[in-house]
Amino acid sequence: MSQILAGSTVCMAPKFSVSNFWNDVRDSHATWFVYVGETLRYLLAAPPSPRDKDHTIRAVYGNGCRPDVWKRFQERFGIDTIGEFYNSTEGALGLRNLSRGDFFANAIGHHGLLLRLKYRNKIVPVEVDAETGQIKRDPKTGLAVRVPYEVGGEILTEHPGERAFAGYFNNEDATSKKFVRDIVRKGDCFYRTGDSLRRDSDGRWFFLDRLGDTYRWKGENVSTAEVSEVLGSYPGVNEAIVYGVKLPGHDGKAGAAALDIDPAQKSSFNHADFLSYTRARLPRYAVPIFIRLLHEGTATHNNKQNKVPLKNEGVDPSKVQGGDQILWIEKHGKGNTYVPFTQDDWNSLDVGRAKL
């Protein structure tokens, strides 16, 4: 709408199509386009073409560009600028980053020194219990346990109070859960973004994970976004959707990753090398024990990853749908490659004969 009000030309295709996208761009002579979710990943997954750089796009703007996609997309399609932003419908916190080079690559925003000083007690990262989702509090003061900005945690933003936010329509319970008090000082009011972010010493903000996606395994918190970034950078992996799954007789959630593998590499995909690559780049507890080979993608209508059906089905082979296959690390998670996970394997976990 802002482009229309400013007098810019806006072109809209009937629907998003990977095969027709760049033809639409060329026909419209567009210089910018807006992306959301995994749009850039899907474009990158298309077979290379001699016309990859035959377009007039100077910049793209949106949210959801993952680190394993960012530079590859710029280099392959000759895109000068990626504009990544962070915001919410409620408007509690807005960040923006226009990146042309390496310094701001993968960031969702930037705060200079003055803004960092101004917001040091207004935009606050706190520690959250991965199992309950509750903010951890100091037993002596009752205030929230803050974490260093460089480490990151769920971001809370100072808020004037409930009256400044009309709330969710016909859902008072959801509205009340968004507000928490006694965070920095007694009586204050903060808004829960539900997102974990970190800010480095240069003021660059980076997205870590969505609250509820982070899971706990072997006594450690696992960030699905960080694991997904590593898996998605392995050659042949178009997309990696990481989530935790409950297993009988085990505390926490075991790591699982749904992989969309390039069709041209499916038959030759080396699961042992993939596991070795992952172990070299992640802590042992963060390496997914299970992988799910996707027959088809699981994106939502707006090209965002849809983890709900994956979490609901878990890794019980009898519940897995869509022609997908479940693999796990051989020797109950201690081996050196992924092998098929059978119904007998699940049953052995279910009755306690096997432990991970």
- 6 pLDDT band, cuts 50/70/90, is confident
Q: Would you state the pLDDT for residue 54?
A: 97
Q: Residue 234: is its pLDDT beyond 90?
A: yes
Average pLDDT over residues 107-135: 94
pLDDT tens-digit map of 333-351: 899 999 999 999 999 887 7
Written as one string, the DSSP assignment of 107-118 is -SEE--HHHHHH
- 298 pLDDT band, cuts 50/70/90, is low
**CATH code of 126's domain:** 2.30.38.10
Question: Could you give the CA distance from residue 203 to residue 57 in angstroms, rounded to a whole number?
Answer: 29
Extract the runs of DSSP E, i.e. beta strands, from 76-219: 81-86, 95-99, 109-110, 123-126, 153-158, 179-181, 189-199, 204-210, 215-217
Question: Could you give the CA distance from residue 37 to residue 41 in angstroms, rounded to a whole number?
Answer: 9
pLDDT tens-digit map of 36-80: 888 999 999 899 999 999 999 999 999 989 888 999 999 999 999
More confident of the two residues 221 and 139: 139
Same domain, 100 and 124: no
Average pLDDT over residues 76-86: 96
Same domain, 172 and 265: no
pLDDT tens-digit map of 302-335: 667 788 899 999 999 999 988 899 999 999 889 9
Number of domains in the chain: 3
DSSP structure class, residue 79: -
Residue 37 sits at the vertex; the CA angle it makes with 283 and 280, to the nearest 5 degrees, is 15
Q: Pinpoint the alpha helices (H) of the chain.
A: 2-5, 21-28, 39-45, 67-77, 113-118, 172-177, 224-232, 271-279, 308-313, 330-333, 343-350
Same domain, 102 and 79: yes
289 close to 328: Cβ distance less than 8 angstroms: yes
Range of 45's domain?
Answer: 2-108
Question: Could you give the CA distance from residue 236 to residue 73 in angstroms, rounded to a whole number?
Answer: 15
Last residue of a domain, one of 108, 135, 163: 108
Last residue of a domain, one of 208, 229, 262: 208
Same domain, 97 and 140: no
Average pLDDT over residues 93-106: 94
Share of the chain above pLDDT 70, in %: 94
| Residue of 263, 246, 262, 264 lying closest to 254 (CA atoms) | 246
Same domain, 292 and 180: no
- 163 pLDDT band, cuts 50/70/90, is low
Same domain, 75 and 150: no
| Residue of 341, 344, 128 lying closest to 245 (CA atoms) | 341
Q: Residue 301: is its pLDDT beyond 60?
A: no
User: Cα-flanking dihedrals φ and ψ of residue 336, to 5°?
Assistant: -120, 15
| Residue of 239, 249, 254, 218 lying closest to 306 (CA atoms) | 239
356 in a domain, yes or no?
Answer: no
Last residue of a domain, one of 81, 108, 135: 108
Give the dihedral of Cα atoms 186, 192, 195, 197; nearest 10 deg: -30
237 close to 261: Cβ distance less than 8 angstroms: yes
Share of the chain above pLDDT 90, in %: 68
Same domain, 230 and 342: yes
pLDDT tens-digit map of 246-289: 998 888 899 999 999 999 999 999 999 999 999 999 999 999 99
Question: Could you give the CA distance from residue 314 to residue 250 in angstroms, rounded to a whole number?
Answer: 14
pLDDT tens-digit map of 124-144: 999 998 878 899 999 999 999
Number of H helices, E strands in the chain: 11, 17
| Residue of 237, 242, 277 lying closest to 261 (CA atoms) | 237
Q: Residue 297: is its pLDDT beyond 60?
A: yes
Same domain, 173 and 193: yes
Q: Would you state the pLDDT for residue 216?
A: 87
79 in a domain, yes or no?
Answer: yes
Number of Cβ within 10 Å of residue 35's Cβ equals 22
